[in-house]
Structure 1
């Protein structure tokens, strides 16, 4: 029996590493695509996955975008603002009809990639898995969650879930959802209510639920998001968005959002693909979202060299 095709991973942060380790554990060949020759020089070629069950070590040889091996399957786990440039860097290596799976926060890049790579099955994913890097090449799988993947373009809808079988059969709770856009909107709505506020107030998620001023700000954001979603005919949740956002903030009370971590680390944030996306969609509808606009500008001010979507 032939070995399964290699999965190339673009974006080798916590989530990219988590999926890479689990694919390797399942016997699938994995190649991280690293962003620079310096990073490749310092990368030891392995990752240690730390879970409640202990530590496991995986050999994951890295390569550069300029390598000449064809890419048969590609998982893109970059930040939203880096997705399109990262894909452009490996586009010439994509085998015909190679599936592309996008796994990042926000909305905007997914639709553009689906259009630009129409000859490839393009899928999007969303996950609530919790993982973080603990220095060097150690990865801590801090919280079990669930993931959903689904088609973004016609080619992916024709291909169906067969292309994603290696991702869906791992010991991570992952499912195929033909209506993935609904899942992406739900994740976007929650992130837009939580991440930016934690970045501005430099607080853990749970503080948003406990602090009256922060709760009120979250309620305003949720109200505006629901108004836009209604205008677009985009369903969100069966219960009010604010209730859902509070539930997530309380369930992840000790967590620090990725956006806050980016602000603390002096890195660009994904605010333009989250609250910024909502503001742009609202403008197309002739709708004002003042709470989202204020938050967008406040987060941008913390990183003047932000990346637009």
Structure 2
């Protein structure tokens, strides 16, 4: 069985190291020449909450050959149409692309390769690229997990095959409710990645800052209101019912949500938002595939999303060089109605 991680950056380098260490032959594919050279020369060095170095096999996209049974897709969604069309040429007849991207990417990928070749996975941990060949795991090693679901037409044995590979790294939950799992991850990313990027901080910075925490509670409510209007039943994340924990309809319940937040985020407090990582490198970020999805769906369902609208606006302005990530940006968000 041939396996690849396409877009082996911060998360993919960690995953590739874990899988390789456990005996899974996997190609780590990335466009960054320096990163690929360092991986092949010195191995994948994973720091942070662990410290391991694992010899790996890394490739540039132009060096790919043959067909793969499983391609784990870990690039940003920004160029999905071109990327997936390219990967289709390297997919075995019964192969699958397992999208591990943020947002809700499965439908657009299935339009290109077919639902029978599309599996979705939410990644319940974080990492940050440090130097070429090195990535810092920012989640507690005991709190790593994947949630996986498939599109129609995926045989059970293929789903189990992918599950068996991922379980070499950490526990895998099979989701019969893939949209619910996606929206639960979107709830976390829109809130903690969105606000973390706005203020230039980690998930933990959002959870411990009183003003940011108040905004986070309101952001979560917007996402849940939009998801429910769209017919979504939010799936538990690592055994936690996020709606029960964080949804509020009165000031007392909102206060409880804010009190719970630092505890709930403790094991993932060091995660630096991937959008913030991109902006620091002067690269486009995925704001339109994260908070932007909430705004788009809210508009379709007639649910106002003033806070997510402003988060999108601020992050676009950061990307355009009109402002910087800063706690000062929270003041503009605090002017939103119904906070």
TM-score by length of 1: 0.85
1:280 counterpart = 2:276: no
Q: CA deviation at 1:164?
A: 0.9
Match of 2:110 in 1: 114
Paired with 1:20 and 1:115, the residues of 2 have a C-alpha distance of 28
Q: 2:245 aligns with which of 214, 239, 243?
A: 239
Q: CA deviation at 1:252?
A: 3.6
SS at structure 1 position matched to 2:244? coil
1:97 counterpart = 2:113: no
Paired with 1:53 and 1:209, the residues of 2 have a C-alpha distance of 23
Q: Does structure 2 conserve the Cα–Cα contact (< 8 Å) formed by 1:114 and 1:152?
A: no
SS at structure 2 position matched to 1:233? coil
Q: Any residues of structure 2 matched to 1:1-309 within 5 Å, and which? A: 5-35=1-31, 38=33, 42-46=37-41, 47-50=43-46, 54-65=51-62, 67-107=64-104, 109-118=105-114, 120-143=116-139, 144=141, 145-156=143-154, 159=157, 161-236=159-234, 237-241=243-247, 243=257, 246-304=262-320
* Cα distance change on mapping 1:122 and 1:65 into 2, 3 Å: farther
SS at structure 1 position matched to 2:114? coil
| More moved, 70-79 vs 164-173 | 164-173
TM-score by length of 2: 0.78
Paired with 1:132 and 1:73, the residues of 2 have a C-alpha distance of 24
| More moved, 260-269 vs 5-14 | 260-269
| More moved, 252-261 vs 268-277 | 252-261
Paired with 2:278 and 2:84, the residues of 1 have a C-alpha distance of 22
Paired with 1:250 and 1:53, the residues of 2 have a C-alpha distance of 17
* Cα deviation digits, residues 57-114 of structure 1 (max 9, x gap): 213141424633122221111123243332222212211120111112222x222112
* Cα distance change on mapping 1:94 and 1:224 into 2, 3 Å: same
Q: CA deviation at 1:255?
A: 3.8
SS at structure 1 position matched to 2:92? coil
* Cα distance change on mapping 1:227 and 1:154 into 2, 3 Å: same
Paired with 1:157 and 1:274, the residues of 2 have a C-alpha distance of 30
Unaligned runs of 5+ in 2: 235-242, 248-253, 322-339
Paired with 1:115 and 1:245, the residues of 2 have a C-alpha distance of 38
| More moved, 219-228 vs 136-145 | 136-145
Paired with 2:118 and 2:132, the residues of 1 have a C-alpha distance of 32
Unaligned runs of 5+ in 1: none
* Cα distance change on mapping 1:204 and 1:58 into 2, 3 Å: same
* Cα deviation digits, residues 139-180 of structure 1 (max 9, x gap): 333432332343332122555522314424304222322323
Q: Does structure 1 conserve the Cα–Cα contact (< 8 Å) formed by 2:148 and 2:172?
A: no
| More moved, 272-281 vs 254-263 | 254-263
* Cα distance change on mapping 1:232 and 1:217 into 2, 3 Å: same
* Cα distance change on mapping 1:23 and 1:84 into 2, 3 Å: farther
RMSD: 2.7
Aligned residues: 299
